[in-house]
Amino acid sequence: MSWWLAPWYDRLLSSAEAGRLGRWRTELLAEARGSVLEIGAGTGANLIHYPATLEQLTLCEPDEGMAAQLRAKLPADPPYPIVVSSAPGERLPVEDASQDVVVSTLVLCTVADVDASLAELRRVLKPGGRFLFLEHVAAEGQPLRHAIQRAATPLWKRFAGGCCLDRPTGSRIRAAGFAVTAMEDREMPSRLDLTGTFLWGHADGPS
């Protein structure tokens, strides 16, 4: 993660979290149940959106700066056990078929290996488990915007914690073997017109 990003991350996203992004998180995570594992939990933006009826929540965040802010947001008396892990998405610290739900929000743009991370998420899901995702993605249906994303990504990655603007995340999810049950492109105004295309949805894991 870029050294400067963690202290500013919440402030940079504050207006989006108070608007569309926060509403999208609430809508998505309303489906979380049972034992839940989230990769790239960042500063803990999803914490306030999880239902109080979960059985357990495992939050994986390998960046020390982000994880420090995440821990500071943990409730003193949570309604369910919460575990914070420094594991990256490519190496999750739980057993096969142990999670009812896995979650990724604004993280598949930054992981070193998207396919390995998706394979891990599928590995840890129980039969009948569900994958919930909200990611900013390549604007594949907008050629000019997509070209700008591709051109900007090499420099953007250096200053935005490895974030790639041009990943075709939807096709990677399908290729990983998830059975997509809902997948929607959603738009958010972006000053630089780089990160305004989001992919919201959920998918079933192994049957």
Q: pLDDT, tens digit, for every residue of 71-86?
A: 999 999 999 999 999 9
Residue 78 vs residues 13, 53, 114, 157: alpha-carbon distances, Å: 25, 11, 31, 35
Q: Decide if 205 contacts 122 (C-beta within 8 A).
A: yes
What is the per-residue pLDDT for 3? Answer: 60
For residue 198, what are the β-bridge partners? 136, 186
Q: What percent of the chain shows pLDDT beyond 70?
A: 96
Q: Contact, 37 vs 58, CB < 8 A?
A: yes
Predicted confidence at residue 171, as pLDDT, reads 95
Distance of CA 205 to the CA centre of its chain: 17
The Cα–Cα gap between 205 and 178 comes to: 5
Highest mean pLDDT among 9-18, 61-70, 153-162: 61-70
8 A C-beta contact, residue 200 and residue 170? no
Give the number of other Cβ atoms within 10 Å of residue 185's Cβ. 14
What's the whole-number mean pLDDT along residues 136-144?
Answer: 84
Q: Can you tell me the distance from the alpha carbon of 168 to that of 109, in angstroms, rounded to the nearest whole number?
A: 9
Written as six digits, the tokens of 154 are 């090499």
Residue that wins the pLDDT comparison between 197 and 45: 45
Considering the chain, what is the average pLDDT of its residues?
Answer: 92
What value, to the nearest 5°, has the Cα angle with vertex 75 and ends 69 and 78?
A: 135
Angle at 43 between CA 37 and CA 45, to 5 degrees: 70
pLDDT in tens, 88-138: 999 999 999 999 999 999 999 999 999 999 999 999 999 999 999 999 898
pLDDT band at 193 (very low <50, low <70, confident <90, very high): low
| Residue 168's pLDDT band (cuts 50, 70, 90) | very high
Task: Express each pLDDT in 6-48 by its tens digit.
Answer: 888 888 888 889 999 999 999 999 999 999 999 999 999 999 9
**67 pLDDT band (50/70/90 cuts)?**
very high
- 52: which 2 tokens? 């109080």
Q: For position 190, what pLDDT does the model report?
A: 64
pLDDT the model gives residue 160: 81
Q: Environment class of residue 32 by beta-carbon count within 10 Å: exposed (0-12), middle (13-18) or buried (19+)?
A: buried
Instruction: Output 61 or 141, whichever has higher pLDDT.
Output: 61
Indicate the SS3 state at residue 41. coil
pLDDT at 39: 98
Domains of the chain, each with CATH number or no CATH:
5-204 (3.40.50.150)
